[in-house]
């Protein structure tokens, strides 16, 4: 997962973009009204950025953000007229379903590298046609779903010491990063296995995902242009 963070950070810093969705370039069916969508519990890891620039994990922040994002995703699915269900991937890592979840992580990493990180793959130029294969039908059958929505978030928030260091170094004309937060989302058709939509988003300063309102606002950005 580390490569997700590094690639996304590089892309977003370069592009200064808050959201960069990609849609399947082949034929696909967007979820019609009333579709059954299983939403994976968001995979969230947040930490505090110390004055020395080290990132220390904060489980309480990660848990708050995970819960807030999950609620916002469920509300968005319902708002779009679909029937949502939830699945915590940590409870389903055995057997075929676990393999599908791990395969999605691998494909997602490749998407970031090729479609966002600039990896040179001639067969992928000008198209966005990634698939997990029709083996995903196992996930559809087990969880009674037509589509699956995956969300991952990573990031850090500056400590008071880090902010003080930033102010002090600014006087000397030296910039000190204060951390940042990114998210990744993908929508998979569970009949074909195709990743029909994918997005990478950077949280703005007013989208503190540890707060329910910030998490809801970030989900709005993350699902920008999603074919829901």
Q: Report the range of poorest mean pLDDT among 69-73, 94-98, 153-157, 185-189.
A: 94-98
Count other Cβ atoms within 10 Å, centred on residue 203. 22
Report the number of distinct structural domains present in the chain.
1
Average per-residue pLDDT in the chain? 87
The answer as to whether 168 is a domain residue is yes
Residues 53-60: what's their mean pLDDT? 91
Residues 15-26: what's their mean pLDDT? 75
The answer as to whether 7 is a domain residue is no
Domain, as residue range, for 100? 32-223
The answer as to whether 98 is a domain residue is yes
The answer as to whether 110 is a domain residue is yes
Q: What is the CATH number of the domain that holds 87?
A: 3.30.160
Rounded CA-CA distance 39/154 in Å is 18
The answer as to whether 6 is a domain residue is no
The answer as to whether 141 is a domain residue is yes
Residue with tokens 């059954």, as numbered in its chain? 36
The answer as to whether 23 is a domain residue is no
The answer as to whether 149 is a domain residue is yes
Is 118 within 8 Å of 15 (Cβ atoms)? no
pLDDT score of 14: 47
Q: Could you tell me which of 110, 112, 109, 101 has the C-alpha nearest to residue 135?
A: 101
Q: Could you tell me which of 189, 197, 148 has the C-alpha nearest to residue 37?
A: 148
pLDDT score of 6: 54
Tens digit of pLDDT for each residue in 114-150? 888 776 677 766 789 999 999 999 999 999 999 999 9
Q: Could you tell me which of 116, 142, 109 has the C-alpha nearest to residue 17?
A: 116
User: Tokens for 194?
Assistant: 């195709």
Residues 17-41: what's their mean pLDDT? 89
């Amino acid at each position: 997962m580390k490569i997700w963070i590094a690639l996304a950070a590089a892309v977003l810093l370069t592009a200064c973009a808050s959201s960069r969705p990609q849609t399947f370039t082949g034929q696909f069916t967007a979820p019609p009204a009333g579709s059954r969508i299983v939403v994976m519990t968001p995979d969230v890891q947040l930490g505090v950025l110390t004055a020395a620039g080290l990132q220390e994990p904060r489980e309480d922040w990660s848990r708050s953000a995970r819960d807030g994002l999950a609620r916002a995703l469920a509300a968005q699915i319902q708002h779009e007229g679909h029937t949502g269900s939830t699945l915590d991937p940590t409870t389903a890592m055995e057997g075929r379903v676990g393999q599908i979840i791990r395969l999605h992580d691998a494909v997602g990493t490749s998407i970031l590298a090729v479609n966002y990180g600039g990896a040179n793959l001639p067969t992928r130029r000008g198209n966005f046609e990634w698939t997990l294969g029709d083996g995903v039908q196992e996930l559809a059958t087990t969880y009674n779903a037509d589509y699956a929505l995956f969300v991952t978030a990573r990031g850090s928030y500056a400590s008071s010491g880090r902010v003080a260091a930033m102010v002090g170094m600014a006087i000397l004309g030296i910039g000190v990063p204060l951390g940042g937060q990114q998210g990744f989302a993908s929508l998979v058709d569970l009949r074909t296995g195709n990743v029909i939509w994918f997005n990478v988003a950077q949280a703005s300063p007013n989208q503190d995902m540890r707060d329910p309102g910030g998490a809801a606002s970030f989900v709005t950005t993350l699902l920008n242009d999603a074919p829901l």
